[in-house]
Amino acid sequence: METTLIIFKPDAVQRGLMGQIMTRFENKGLKVVGAKLMQISQDLASTHYKDHQGKPFYDGLVGFMTSSPVMVLALQGNNAIAVCRKMMGATFGSNAESGTIRGDFGVSNSFNLIHGSDSPEAAEREIGLFFNDGEILSYDRAIEGWVYDMSGGEPE
């Protein structure tokens, strides 16, 4: 099982979309193993977006991400990173397909509602930035056998 970081960005929080977006992930079968509402500091935003330093949009991105609380999730599931990124849709809401989070809730090319890790390495690094030891939980769900076909010993 793979674990990924998801951030409901300030626009999702301010528009009251957290519950609707979380429901999509849970309905898909992903397991919430960490969650918190938090205010991202300037330092944390700078560290998280360090790969974008020097790009024309960097200052605006850091300003946006520190402008309001965000909801940070750790989601777990089979191929969780790819599943979540597909559910999120194209980066710009104006280009995102209907049925995706950005396609259904966004039109802006600046405010795109959600962040999701793009690789296992990024997920590990990002989860370490946003969650402390002990904040990612491990637990069994009674529904796992109904979410994944486990007849072959591995989830499919």
| Cα gap 68→149, rounded to integer Å | 40
DSSP helix/strand/coil, 78: coil
- In this structure, how many other beta carbons lie within 10 angstroms of the beta carbon of residue 78? 15
Sign (positive or negative) of CA dihedral 114, 120, 122, 124? positive
Q: Write out the two tokens for 52.
A: 């974008």
Please confirm, yes or no, whether 115 is among the known catalytic residues: yes
Catalytic residue among 30, 115, 127, 131: 115
**Among 52, 121, 109, which Cα is nearest to 81's?**
121
CA distances from 25 to 31, 77, 87, 111, 135 (A): 8, 10, 8, 20, 19
Q: What residues act catalytically?
A: 115
